[in-house]
Amino acid sequence: MTRPDPIYLTEGDVVATFPMREALIRIEDAARALAEGRAQNRPRQRAYLGTSIIQVLVGVYGGRMGHKTYTVARPRGARFLVSLFADDGTLLAIMEADALGQIRTGAASGIATRALAREDAHTLAIIGTGWQARSQVEAVVRVRPIQRVLVAGRDAARRAAFCEEMRERLDLPIEPAASAREAVAAADVVCTMTSANEPVLEGAWLRPGTHVNAAGSNRANAQEIDVDAVRRSGIVAVDDVAQAHVEAGDLLAAERAGWSWDGVTLLSDIVAGLAPGRTDDGQVTLFESLGIGLWDVAAAGYVFDACVAQGRGTPLPIPA
């Protein structure tokens, strides 16, 4: 059978074919596949040229393999691309992957919330009001009976705009909080999605039974949550242990303060039932989300199939 030529997919194609409900299904299945040996992930690799960085994440899932490559350079900013291949090495697609990354990152937090948060969790706090924060909220409200969302951010105008946009999108009470502390103190689930170098969440603010998704940082020299938040967590789940040892600034800071990695668990093992989840309603739980290539390949595979079915994509002048 002759394969069609590979296609190029745009951000618009991704947004049109990858709703959060499908992202949650796909990322949860990829997590289970990883735990069961049916998928592979390789930690992020970075290389530097002056002030520019290139970063590569690799994964294998569902009979496909691929990698996300992205560059960060001034003044252009970041550009994300996924290359997706068939099991015989045939290039299937190259796709723009900024929105894909946003959606799959939110979905990973949603899957962690489903696996670790209390069943009756009804208040969500989000720290951060950027583009990535939107998918965090959307994913969590799909997996728990959230009745109220509290939003913390440094800029009052951006905070208000975020609340208005998300209220319209989700039809939920979404309110600005006076401070991160106020938002966290009232929450059952907390998501941090910031570019902070210093902690924006303190463990002392957490109520017993809170679940935390720390999803904004993948740099060894940056923290979103303080050491006390890590120490208070009865479960610390990560998406990839080797990657966490290199770039989980929250956990590396805790290690320097005497915390041990011995209890760290793969989220995929919890999802697959190979490791225990929450053991009581008073337990604080933490998902340290770094973002892995497996999520990108799983997401890209779904988008590719949907775009082929809908006739989307621009043929690339590369032989199949």
Neighbours of 179 (CB within 10 A): 11
78, HSE (Cβ side, Cα atoms, 13 Å): 12
pLDDT tens series, the chain, 320 aa: 566 789 999 999 999 999 999 999 999 999 999 999 999 999 999 999 999 999 999 999 999 999 999 999 988 889 999 999 999 999 999 999 999 999 999 999 999 999 999 999 999 999 999 999 999 999 999 999 999 999 999 999 999 999 999 999 999 999 999 999 999 999 999 999 999 999 999 999 999 999 999 999 889 999 999 999 999 999 999 999 999 999 999 999 999 999 999 989 999 999 999 999 999 999 999 999 999 999 999 999 999 999 999 999 999 998 76
pLDDT digits (tens, 9 = 90+) for 92-126: 999 999 999 999 999 999 999 999 999 999 999 99
Q: Domains of the chain: which residue ranges? A: 7-101+294-315, 119-291
Longest dimension (CA), the chain: 61
Q: What is the DSSP string of 103-137?
A: HHHHHHHHHHHHHHS-TT--EEEEE--SHHHHHHH
Strands (E), the chain: 7-9, 40-49, 52-61, 64-73, 77-86, 91-96, 123-127, 148-152, 174-176, 189-192, 211-214, 233-238, 264-266, 284-288, 314-315
At 286 the three-state DSSP class reads: strand
In the block, residue with structure tokens 């970041």: 78
- Alpha-carbon distance of 315 to 142, in angstroms, equals 35
Q: Which CATH class is domain 119-291?
A: alpha beta
CATH number of 7-101+294-315: 3.30.1780.10
Running DSSP on this structure, what letter comes out for residue 244? H
Tell me whether the CATH fold assigned to 7-101+294-315 matches the one assigned to 119-291.
Answer: no
pLDDT digits (tens, 9 = 90+) for 190-249: 999 999 999 999 999 999 999 999 999 889 999 999 999 999 999 999 999 999 999 999
Q: Check whether the bond before 75 is cis (ω within 30° of 0).
A: yes
